[in-house]
Structure 1
Amino acid sequence: MMKLIYNLTMCRSKSYLIKKYGKEFWKDFKATSDKTFAKILPQVPDIGNSIFSFNYEFGPSYIAWYKSFLKLGLTGEEATENIWVMNEKMVTTIPRPFLKATGKTYLNGFRKKAATHVALQEKGKLHPYDWHITYREINQNSFEIDITECGLKKLAHQFDADGLLPGICRMDYLFSNLMGNRFVRSKTLGDGDNCCNCHYDLEGQCEWAPEKGFTDRR
Structure 2
Amino acid sequence: MMDDVTQIRLNKFISNSGHCNRREADNFIAQGRVCVNDKVIVKLGTKVSVKDDVKLDGNNISLNKSVYILLNKPKGFHSINLDNKKNIFSLLPFEEFHDLQSLDFMNENYMGLMVFSNNQDFIKRMSNKVDNLKQLFHLILDSDLKENDKNSIKNETDFNDFQIRNINHVDGASKNEIGLELSIKQVKDIEDLFLKYNYKVISIDRVLYSNLSKKDLPRGKWRHFKKQELINLQAF
Q: Same fold (TM over 0.5)?
A: no
TM-score normalised per structure 1? 0.29
TM-score (norm. length: structure 2) = 0.28
Name the one with the larger strand percent: 2
